[in-house]
Amino acid sequence: MKKTIFHIGTWALISVGIMMASCMDDHDAPDVSNYSITKETSVGDPTITIRDLKDKYASVFTQNNAFTLIEDDEIVEGVVVANDKGGNLYQTLMLAQYDANYDMVDPARCIILAVKNTCLYPYFAYGQMVRVNLKGLYVGCYSKLPKIGQPYYTSSNNLRLGPMLFELCKTNIYLVGKPSDYAGKIKPFVLRDDSHEMFKDPTYQNYKNSPMLVTVVGKFVGGDDKTILAPDELKDAGMGVDRDFKVGNTTITVRTSTQNEVSFLKMPKGTVRLTGVMSYYDGWQIQLRSVEDMQKDMEIISE
């Protein structure tokens, strides 16, 4: 199976379709000041952390494609550290665990929250604390990627874990505070070379550590300051393009979907810093969240 690119299908509620049009066409956020798509009263206090959720359902998270229905009120909380604003993450949010004792989020304690809508970022901004009641939803893996969502049938009639229905945001998701309360506390792992144990230790290649928010410093193989990341003519069956990226002596994959802002970024021929969603399939791969996630400013890299 080809590496997943969080590209599962296209569906949106007719009631918000017109409002979403400007988001998709002009990349301008719609006015959401008088429109809430999430629950307006609390879904309850958190009952389980992202880390403990993964441990509790390890039997499904350790499989390639598996999921289970949550039948009780299990409430998980996390900060949005990735959304679809750049167009590269489709129907996808990534939540990171927050620990008030340390006044920061843990970029290694993450899970994907998949929602069936083509424009999520105006409602789930970077830094927004999200509380999710999992009752009626499913947890599991799609191609080894831990996520929250609902099952769907693929074009090959295979049942896979896809995004939750958009209208369930109104009953299962509550927004806590404002994005500005947490955005400044999000610090990705910075990997300047391949000496970190995640590149050496096989235990890092499991559900506990995938996905995570990271920054990697290295060079594109074939970078020439001219070739774009994901030209449409090179797309595979998953509607994406893989590029090799060297971190020290280790090669990871930069996975990019086509026809979005990120896909038209040119690959530098020198040292570059990438930030994004790191996950593991048959090797480590990273997906950029927006065009700002690629930086080649040497002053920044040398920090």
d(CA 158, CA 155): 7
In a domain, 171, yes or no: yes
In a domain, 10, yes or no: no
pLDDT, position 50: 97
Over 90: is that where the pLDDT of 278 sits?
yes
Each residue's pLDDT tens digit, 104-128: 899 999 999 999 999 999 999 999 9
Whether residue 103 sits in one domain with residue 228: no
pLDDT band at 303 (very low <50, low <70, confident <90, very high): very low
In a domain, 203, yes or no: yes
Whether residue 181 sits in one domain with residue 262: no
d(CA 192, CA 248): 8
Mean pLDDT of 256-281: 95
Whether residue 68 sits in one domain with residue 118: yes
Phi-psi label, residue 260: left if phi above 0, alpha if psi -120 to 50, beta otherwise? beta
Quick check: helix, strand or coil at residue 197? helix
d(CA 303, CA 300): 5
In a domain, 5, yes or no: no
pLDDT, position 298: 54
CB 295 within 8 A of CB 217: no
Whether residue 213 sits in one domain with residue 279: yes
Token reading at 192: 């300047």
Q: Which of 151, 185, 219 is the last residue of a domain?
A: 185
Whether residue 124 sits in one domain with residue 30: yes
pLDDT band at 181 (very low <50, low <70, confident <90, very high): very high
Mean pLDDT of 154-158: 84
Whether residue 97 sits in one domain with residue 169: yes
pLDDT, position 27: 40
Short-list 277, 268, 272, CA closest to 301: 272
Each residue's pLDDT tens digit, 123-145: 999 999 999 999 999 999 988 89
| Cβ-count burial 258-278 (b if 16+ within 10 Å, e if not) | bebebbebebeeeebbbbbbb
pLDDT, position 238: 84
Q: Name the domain count of the chain.
A: 2
In a domain, 8, yes or no: no
CB 275 within 8 A of CB 288: yes
- Across the chain, mean pLDDT equals 87
Short-list 232, 13, 210, 276, CA closest to 120: 13
d(CA 225, CA 269): 6
In a domain, 138, yes or no: yes
Measured in degrees and rounded to the nearest 5, phi and psi for residue 52 equal -70, -30
Whether residue 221 sits in one domain with residue 105: no
260 vs 6, higher pLDDT = 260
Q: Which residue type occupies 76?
A: V
Each residue's pLDDT tens digit, 8-38: 333 333 333 333 433 543 344 444 555 689 9
Whether residue 201 sits in one domain with residue 134: no
Each residue's pLDDT tens digit, 53-110: 999 999 999 998 999 999 999 999 999 999 999 999 999 999 999 988 888 899 999 9
Whether residue 211 sits in one domain with residue 153: no
Whether residue 53 sits in one domain with residue 30: yes
Token reading at 163: 């995004």
Measured in degrees and rounded to the nearest 5, phi and psi for residue 205 equal -90, 35
CATH of the domain at 35: 2.40.50
CB 256 within 8 A of CB 287: yes
Q: Which of 137, 162, 185 is the last residue of a domain?
A: 185
Least confident of 3-12, 152-161, 208-217, 283-292: 3-12
Whether residue 170 sits in one domain with residue 30: yes
Domain span at 235: 189-301
Each residue's pLDDT tens digit, 191-247: 989 999 999 998 999 999 999 999 999 999 999 999 999 999 999 988 999 999 999
In a domain, 270, yes or no: yes
